[in-house]
Amino acid sequence: MENPCQNRSETSSKPIRHSLHCGETFATVITEPEFIHIAEEDVLCQRSRLQEYLRRHPEFRTSLRPLPALPPAPPIVTRMAAAAARVGVGPKAAVAGSIADSAVRAMCRAGSRHSVFDNGGDIALYIRKSVVVGIYPGRAAGQNLGFRIQPRPHIMGICTSSATVGHSLSFGCTDAAIVIASDVVLADAAATALGNSVKTDSRLDLRRALESFFNPDIEGMAVIDRDRFGWIGNLPEIISVTGTTSHIAKG
- Asked if residue 182 lies in contact with residue 156, where contact means CB atoms within 8 angstroms, the answer is yes
Q: Beta strand 237-240 with 228-233: parallel, antiparallel or unpaired?
A: unpaired
What region, left, alpha or beta, does residue 195 occupy, with left being phi > 0 and alpha being psi -120 to 50 degrees? Answer: alpha
CB neighbour burial string for 120-130, b if at least 16 within 10 angstroms, e if fewer: bbbbbbbbeee
Half-sphere exposure of 99 (CA within 13 A, CB side): 31
Q: For residue 24, tell me if it sits in a domain.
A: yes
What is the DSSP track for 150-195?
Answer: PP-SS-EEEEEE-SSSSS---SS--SEEEEEES-HHHHHHHHHHHH
Q: For residue 251, tell me if it sits in a domain.
A: no
Query: Phi then psi for 44, rounded to 5 degrees?
Result: -60, -45
Domain that holds residue 84: 16-242
Residues with Cβ < 8 Å from 123, sequence gap 6 or more?
A: 100, 116, 117, 133, 157, 158, 159
Tens-level pLDDT at each residue, the chain (251 residues):
667 766 555 556 899 999 999 988 999 999 999 999 999 999 999 999 999 999 999 999 999 999 999 999 999 999 999 999 999 999 999 999 999 999 999 999 999 999 999 999 999 999 999 999 988 766 555 567 899 999 999 999 999 998 776 566 676 678 899 999 999 999 999 999 999 998 887 788 889 999 999 999 999 999 998 778 899 999 999 998 875 555 555 44
Split into its structural domains, the chain has a count of 1
Q: For residue 57, tell me if it sits in a domain.
A: yes
Q: For residue 4, tell me if it sits in a domain.
A: no
- Taking Cα atoms as reference points, which of 223, 94, 75 lies closest to residue 168? 94
CATH value at residue 224: 3.10.520.10
Cα 129 from Cα 225, distance rounded (Å)? 31
pTM of the model: 0.90
Neighbours of 152 (CB within 10 A): 12
Q: For residue 6, tell me if it sits in a domain.
A: no
What region, left, alpha or beta, does residue 205 occupy, with left being phi > 0 and alpha being psi -120 to 50 degrees? Answer: alpha
Q: For residue 7, tell me if it sits in a domain.
A: no
